[in-house]
Chains A and B, each alone.
Chain A
Amino acid sequence: MVTAMTDTTKEKQMTDQRDSINDRVANKESESNAADNRSSMDDIHKNEEFDIEINGTVGKPFVDNVKMSSRNCDVFYGDKQAIFDVNVDIGNHEILAMIGPSGCGKSTYLRVLNRMNDTIPICRVTGEHKLDGEDIYSKKMDPVLLRARVGMVFQKPNPFPKSIYDNVAYGAKLHGLVRTRSDLDDLVEKSLIRAGLWKEVKDDLHKPGTGLSGGQQQRLCIARTIAVDPEVILMDEPTSALDPIATALIEELMIELSGKYTIAIVTHSMQQAARVSNRTAYFHLGKLVEVNETDKVFTNPEHKLTENYITGRFG
């Protein structure tokens, strides 16, 4: 088990280093943390810290003002189980950060919440999942409506091979959210401004979205998602390809959006989790180890694994 993890952990280590370098530019206080990360490369191979047993989730996975919730969530890819018995709530107007080593199932769990896993034939989801008290996996729930209400920004930027304008306008047109052309123009402009892309592309709206840089594409995808005004936004490492300035902008956007929407964000940057989120969930090998107030997770984690992870003892 340990050897199997080494490769992915190493990879993640690299990402983390890059992240921490970015973050250092953005806010200097994290310097010591980054140094920790680098030294941890050496003791990766002898991490008995990694194999500590997990008995249920510690901390406060449940809240009073629930927007979405999961109970007894298991996810299987074919015969392989990727998520083990996750129980958690996401509160109204809350930003929930999900952290954890690469391959621990963060993306998988996020995709449970808007039934994106339905598109993977071998993927099977069990448990009870609710949005505003409605079962999202019931026959009555229309996945099309669900995905309009629960928007998603994917880990890899995936703009349509269409113009920038059409990319942003697509969702609104699809759901008939705007009446007139000028309303649509306004919506596109507003969404691009909020995603921090407007200045760069305002003269090239009819150029292909796929011709943008990786970071610009990611912001285009964010603009595309917020243009439909979803109730919940799921973000899978939305800033992993962005520079510190754009990252700060997206983080501001998230905080602003949380006044109106509910946000779940997967991130590899613990500084980011610390900056934007209200609560933080730590995943480990498909299990939800700890959910707590973000401050508590980063200052005084309840579980040993969480502590090992945030202090950079392993990837």
Chain B
Amino acid sequence: MSKQYKNTDTIRAGLKKRYAREKRFQFFGIASIFISFLFLLVLLVNIFSQGYPAFQQTYVKLDVKLDGSVIGVSKDSSPEELFKASYGKLIKNTLKEMFPGVKDRKKKRALKQLVSKSAAYDLRDKIIENPALLGTTQSFWFLAKDDVDVFMKGDIDRTLPEADRRIKDFQLKWIDKLLAENRLEKRFNTTFFTAGDSREPEQAGIKGALIGSLLTMLVTMALSFPIGVLAAIYLEEFAPQNNRWVDIIEININNLAAVPSIVFGLLGLAVFIGFFGVPRSAPLVGGLVLTLMTLPTIIIASRAAIKSVPPSIREAALGLGASKVQTTFGHVVPLAMPGILTGTIIGMAQALGETAPLLMIGMVAFVADVPQGILDPSTVMPVQIYLWSDSPERAFTERTSAAIMVLIAFLVVMNFIAVLLRKKFERKW
């Protein structure tokens, strides 16, 4: 090469090294994506394989002789009387007839526990709906007890010695007989989506926690988004620069983002419940506490988004005679919106998965009813997951995983909405 273009040679000599570095970087990048993807996959497969059985539930068919005299009611009884009668007896009698000769008290109890306790309530509802059924014999499908359900899903090995099994030999015989008569069936588990929590696994559902989470999130969103965004706008666009107070506020907001969330729970307990008397365990107080927790995230993200709007846009608007507020809301905020929404969704996702601050405000209680409003006692999904994972019954284990799946689905839906919103604001010009 000619002496004249010395630089060209130097550059050419260095090229190979540069490309090698680029290749190396790409390799590491792809490797890390692959590894994180693998972890995610393992997690999902694990949860799914454990949780999917919970979406099925075993039902038992019983031919119940609806003899009103046994439980002291007749076709003409008032609805109150019908409501009060103990239908469990009818079911017990049916089972006794199907499996005669059970004398032992323990075995008698075991017999009763082939079907869920909810069978009696199901029966009651059906009779109240149509008292004319009394006196006839009808077949109904009832929820099976969780042990039967677990057995049906193949989670109990009948080859094990009897002492190591939850289902004993005599129970196996009953189940075999029911199976032979086609009286056991696995169906889609609607209970899981329509019921609140319960002590009995087969009656436990996620709906209470789902609605609780939804209401809590609505409260959190309704408070933290406007407050957070307005605070960010003020600090970024209107607050005096180099002001000591503004600096102090800024430092404090950044510090708040790093405060352990349980501390917000304590604060919520002291201030919202203790001082303002907001009902405990309710989505309202949960939402308030989570708002405190989410605010710093939203403020910091929104400020970054607002800061990244080019100043020339502000100048253009101001130069045409737009006022400060018109410039901010007409130009700056719309351009910052995608970033603001990203911050909000991160904050909301955090809030959705939070349990620690809710411990302090009584949302970790056992709540069987589905909350009707933001003042009803309720629980939220992560808390429900925690409670179930703590329960000894095998059937709760699968429900734990199923609840995690529902939580993830909730998160995905939430993110999806955010992505749609962001797309709406994100004009690539």
Contact = CB atoms under 8 A, between A and B. Distances in A.
Contacts of A145: 321
Nearest to B314: A119
B319 A208 contact: no
B19 interface: no
Contact of A154 (B241, B315, B322, B427): B315
Interface residues of B, number: 21
A239 B320 CA distance: 19
A1 interface: no
Contact of A147 (B311, B314, B319): B319
Interface in A251-273: none
A119 B315 contact: yes
Interface string B312-326: 111111111111001
B333 to A, nearest CB: 13
B335 interface: yes
B323 A161 contact: no
A121 interface: yes
B320 A171 contact: yes
A221 B316 contact: yes
Given A174-B326, A208-B429, A151 B320 contact: yes
Interface string A8-39: 00000000000000000000000000000000
Interface string B290-318: 00000000000000000000111111111
A228 interface: yes
A147 B326 CA distance: 14
- Looking at B310, B312, B326, B331, the one whose CB has the most chain A CB atoms below 10 A away is B312
A208 B427 CA distance: 10
A283 interface: no
A160 B335 CA distance: 10
B7 interface: no
B174 to A, nearest CB: 73
Nearest to A121: B241
A205 B399 CA distance: 58
Contacts of A210: 429
Nearest to A207: B429
A191 B427 CA distance: 26
Given A121-B242, A154-B312, A158-B315, A174 B320 contact: yes
24 contacts: A116-B319, A119-B318, A147-B321, A148-B321, A151-B319, A154-B315, A154-B319, A158-B310, A158-B312, A158-B313, A160-B316, A161-B335, A161-B429, A170-B317, A170-B320, A174-B320, A174-B322, A174-B326, A210-B429, A211-B429, A224-B320, A225-B319, A225-B320, A228-B320
10 nearest CB pairs, A to B:
A148-B321, A208-B429, A158-B312, A121-B241, A171-B320, A147-B321, A158-B316, A152-B319, A210-B429, A144-B323
Interface of B: 241-242, 310-323, 326, 331, 335, 427, 429
